[in-house]
Amino acid sequence: MALMYPCPGSLRATATSVQVQKAPVPIERIMDIESSVRDIPGVYRSEIRAKYEWCVNRLMDGTASWLGFNSANGANAAKLRYAVNLADESDLFRNLCATFNGSIAASIQTTSMLTSSMESGIFNCYSSTIIIADALTRLGKGVTIVRPPSHMLLRGSSCAFETTVKNPERAVSGADVLYSKYLYWNEFGSDSLLYDAYLWPISTLILSGQDARAIEYCIEATKLDAGRYEVVTQLGMMHFKNGRYEEAIDFLNRAIEVNAKFDFAWNQMAIAELCLGRVDAAIEHFLNAKIVHNDKHNEWYSRGVSFTALGRSEDIRGMHESAVNNYEIALECYNQAICAGHDVFEAWSRRTETLGYMGATEELRKDQEVVSRMKEMLQTQRRN
């Protein structure tokens, strides 16, 4: 069962610890799902799987060598497992980070799937987390999969591991940093990656116009865990980004049916209604998005402004990877500020500014349209 952790400070409830699990990564089924989405021929699937096994073995051998063994396969399994779990966790994760970005020569790209990463050597948080989690669980080290909004990373018993950060010193930190870095997150065992294997390709299917297949994958993911609503939310957001606002509203409604307190879905549905010119419906959804503690909005908004400023500062200093991460956190802060009752126009204008810094041209254009419609809505309210 997943636990959702809320944001830090006065907005965070006491978190219940999750036992670190050693469930195996369901790699065969993950590969099958992605291969089906990408229509990869059977023979080529074997080649991709062989490349994957080489990468996992390279990570395992690098860890074994670091611990004083000749190789992972040649070592006594019980002794290696004991050594892995006895090692300082932060040092263990840093060594894996160095091996992953050195020997495997990984680079990061947000749109990669696991199979495409095996072909290109270009990884994202999804594919890098799978391969590193698999290596660790095969070595006998328990980890959990942490799922903040639109992101994925690893957590051990005491450390968090950002698998897309290339600098080992920055990639690994104490697990408590999750409370300050992310607004909320879900935490799952490694076996839950099968759900994510259905979730991740949905955007690929929608962008290629394969809506029917995307819905099929949504249904399959829901069969695995009906209590999670990321898939239908993802479908709703992808429809929104493609200008299909009616479809977006339909899927966001489904997410709300699972969790009526899911303020993000209420907020996005309001924006979709706004884009359709249905001002009254938009206002109703914005009101539904407000939560009990309305003073929460100022803290969210202030955090958003701070993360935008931090990202801008890092951009100027050439720290582009870290800057993008902070921009993404800022965007989520502005979303939460709107949900909590902050001035919609002010927060959304800040969103637009941040997207401009990120160079997200298409999203920026859509946000500018939303801001324009908000101006019209405000003018209408003033006239009435």
Kindly give the pairing relationship between strand 185-188 and strand 3-5. Answer: antiparallel
Q: Where are the beta strands (DSSP E) in 156-255?
A: 159-161, 172-174, 185-188
Question: Which of 4-13, 185-194, 199-208, 305-314 tops mean pLDDT?
Answer: 185-194
Structure tokens at 347: 């927060």
Measured CA to CA, the distance from residue 28 to residue 125 in angstroms comes to 19
**Does residue 149 sit in helix, strand or coil?**
coil
Q: Indicate whether 124 pLDDT > 50.
A: yes
**pLDDT at residue 210, rounded to an integer:** 79
H helix runs in 67-153, sequence order: 77-86, 89-102, 114-120, 125-138
**pLDDT at residue 367, rounded to an integer:** 65
Please state the length of the chain. Answer: 384
**pLDDT at residue 299, rounded to an integer:** 63
Residue 15 binned pLDDT confidence (cut-offs 50, 70, 90): very low
Beta bridge partners of 122: 107
What is the largest distance, in Å, between two alpha-carbon atoms of the chain?
78
Average pLDDT over residues 135-148: 92
**pLDDT at residue 128, rounded to an integer:** 93
**How much is the mean pLDDT over the chain?**
78
**pLDDT at residue 107, rounded to an integer:** 66
Average pLDDT over residues 347-353: 76
Provide CB contacts within 8 A for 367, sequence distance 6+.
Answer: 348, 351, 352, 355
More confident residue, 44 or 286: 44
**Does residue 369 sit in helix, strand or coil?**
helix
Provide CB contacts within 8 A for 357, sequence distance 6+.
Answer: 308, 311, 312, 315, 323, 327
Residue 331 binned pLDDT confidence (cut-offs 50, 70, 90): confident
Contact of 243 with 207, CB cutoff 8 Å? no
Average pLDDT over residues 49-60: 95
Q: For residue 352, which amino acid is it?
A: T
Residue 172 binned pLDDT confidence (cut-offs 50, 70, 90): very high
Q: What burial class does residue 10 get, using C-beta atoms within 10 Å of its C-beta: 0-12 exposed, 13-18 middle, 19+ buried?
A: exposed
Question: Which of 10-24, 26-40, 176-190, 219-233 tops mean pLDDT?
Answer: 26-40
Measured CA to CA, the distance from residue 249 to residue 22 in angstroms comes to 38
Structure tokens at 192: 């839950």
Provide CB contacts within 8 A for 316, sequence distance 6+.
Answer: none
Structure tokens at 57: 């073995």
More confident residue, 317 or 381: 317
Residue ranges of the domains in the chain?
A: 3-196, 296-383
More confident residue, 219 or 40: 40
Specify the residue for token string 């690994």: 172
Which among 351, 314, 317 has a CA at the least distance from the CA of 336?
A: 351
Residue 213 binned pLDDT confidence (cut-offs 50, 70, 90): confident
The per-residue pLDDT for range 227-246, each reduced to its tens digit, is 677 777 877 877 887 788 89
Q: For residue 221, how many C-alpha atoms fall within 13 Å in the half-sphere facing its CB?
A: 27
Q: Indicate whether 10 pLDDT > 60.
A: no
Contact of 127 with 163, CB cutoff 8 Å? no
**pLDDT at residue 261, rounded to an integer:** 67
Beta bridge partners of 173: 160
Contact of 187 with 3, CB cutoff 8 Å? yes
**pLDDT at residue 19, rounded to an integer:** 47
Q: What are phi and psi of 87, to 5 degrees?
A: -65, 150
